[in-house]
Chains A and B, each alone.
Chain A
Amino acid sequence: MKIEISKEDFNKSLHRLGDEYRIYAPVAMAYKGTFSDTDSIRYKEINTLDEIEFNLKSHFSPKEVILPITQVLFYFTEDQYKEPETEKKKLLVFLRACDIHAVKRMDQIYLENGQRDPYYQEVRDTVKFVLIGCEKSYRNCFCVSMGTNKTEDYSLGIKPVGDQVLLDIKDEELNAYFFGEEKDFEMNYVTSNDIKVLIPEPHQIAKDIAEAPLWREYDERCVACGKCNFVCSTCTCFRMQDIFYKDNENNGERRRVWASCQVDGYTDMAGGHSFRKRHGDRMRYKVLHKVYDYNKRFGYHMCVGCGRCDDACPQYISFSTCVNKLHDLGKEER
């Protein structure tokens, strides 16, 4: 059902939703940005519409809400493993089309690739998504090339217009929270980005692509900071970490923490073996995963074209440029 309601009424509804849901949305945090004097836009719990940043792209993706940076898997007491208490409230997350497509990628790994991940499943069972339409394309976005500029896969679509809010309610349960005049409208979505990416067909990726000189540019330029992975809406790697508490060494916890394939140590094994020592090889590993290897395994591309990796890189390395180079290389070789 599509309706129009006033901001005031919308906030009242949000307030009522707050009894059952924790509501997360992109919020501008003053002077926390990558570059000096810029805001950082990250996911935070909100109570009112005005707290939400609608006009800019979030620097971090909504991934941090459903797949926390650090997640406790177990608490240890003496010789017992104890699971953390279940979160009682459900989740409502405001996000854009590409990010909804990104959730499908997270589902693929955490629910489909091997056994189901119970911690992810638990969050996933309670989360509902609110689509923020995109009025315009942002810097570095290439969602149109990736086919992730549009989605129908949301519980609630939101379009603020002046003092009014247009809502496209698809979820029965949410119908009970929002009351307004029925009004037809279309959700915004972009149909073109400044940045366009051409992805090589699988057969255009040469068997010896790892030897291509293209990667060597990144040996020096990439400083292996891992920012590109952390802001990426589709990166899902983690490492396990056990700790014990300083004040009581008998107790501790096992956690998982986001990990980055660009950072030193990702492949280190006992015996001193490691792989991809050159940063350019890590770039290759990441880029090929996003537009080739994942596709080979699951049948669609991992990257959703959100452009956050390019936004975040301190070395101004452009992922989209790299994919285009890969495409040109594939053409040459044909």
Chain B
Amino acid sequence: MIDTNVYMPIKSNIMEIIQHTDVEYTFRMAYKGEVKPGQFFEVSIPKYGECPISVSGIGEEFIDFTIRRVGKVTDELHKFKVGDIFFIRGPYGNGFHMDDYKNKEVIIVAGGSGLAPVKGIIDIIHQQPKDYEGFNLLVGFKSPDDILFKEELKIWNEDLKLILTVDGAKEDYRGKVGLVTQYVDDIIIKNMDNVAIIIVGPPMMMKFTVEAFLKRGVACENIWVSYERKMHCGIGKCGHCRMDDTYICLDGPVFNFSKAKHLYD
């Protein structure tokens, strides 16, 4: 009936599944097309529904979704096996614009599943470190059991400046403990005017991490955040993601903090 139905999803094959934790899996999906880190897809199963999921990895012929099991749709998604299909539509949102970070000291701070939307940037910087003046990664999880991308973190720990911390752990845990905000001051910044700081995680984590960097003297213009809001359409229609005059699905989810600081729920 309709020439181009933007709500019509396409089929995508599950190529590989990696289990990170009891409730978090990464699905490698067959996909060809232009996608940027920070963009998202509406992933669905007929009869259960759709939900927005960020791309956590981007390849020539695949995209990764790292999905946390929290409810109706995600419970069902987790039952799928390699060779099965998901229905997807997208990519949506602006995503991270890598040119904004070129030749800068890049610092990424990710909290929990906030690592998923920025993992694509880490991959890019990891592959082309020369394009950036420096790179620091600060990642926090609730507990050692919640750590995502353990394999990648091992490699990053060798190649990059990485601080990995957990909010709390049993006494015998040998890694760092404490909120990410406690480690913000440990990151060496050579030139305050040439940093690009990217912060993604739960609302409170983002709020306090941004404050910590502002306190260190970083300008709002040098900070980027990615916001998560309820989304039913991903294309500026359903209204749920709106903050004042801004649609997170269309104008975001990635915002420079000079804009984000004015957004109001």
Identify the A interface with B (CB < 8 A): 73-74, 76, 79, 81, 83-86, 109-110, 113-119, 122, 207, 210, 236-244, 249, 252, 254, 256, 259, 261, 266-271, 273, 275-276, 281, 285, 288-289, 293-294, 296-297
Contact = CB atoms under 8 A, between A and B. Distances in A.
Contact of B1 (A86, A249, A252): A86
Contacts, number: 129
A261 B241 CA distance: 11
A72 B160 CA distance: 50
Contact of B68 (A207, A266, A270): A270
Interface of B: 1-9, 11, 44, 46-50, 68, 70-71, 74, 85, 87, 202-203, 228-230, 232-233, 235-240, 242, 244-247, 249-250, 262, 264-265
Contacts of A76: 46-47
Given A113-B236, A237-B238, A288-B244, 4 more contacts: A110-B237, A114-B250, A115-B236, A252-B46
A210 B264 contact: yes
Given A240-B49, A267-B265, A271-B70, A114 B236 contact: yes
A267 B247 CA distance: 14
A281 B264 CA distance: 11
Contact of A237 (B3, B4, B7, B240): B240
29 contacts: A76-B47, A79-B11, A79-B85, A81-B8, A81-B9, A81-B87, A83-B5, A84-B1, A109-B237, A109-B239, A113-B247, A114-B249, A117-B235, A118-B3, A119-B7, A122-B1, A122-B2, A238-B237, A239-B232, A241-B49, A243-B47, A252-B47, A259-B232, A266-B240, A267-B265, A269-B228, A270-B70, A273-B203, A293-B244
B7 A118 contact: yes
Contacts of A297: 245-246
B239 A259 contact: yes
A132 B115 CA distance: 56
A207 B262 CA distance: 8
Nearest to A257: B232
A107 to B, nearest CB: 12
Nearest to B92: A114
Contact of B245 (A119, A240, A296): A296
Given A74-B7, A122-B1, A240-B49, A261 B239 contact: yes
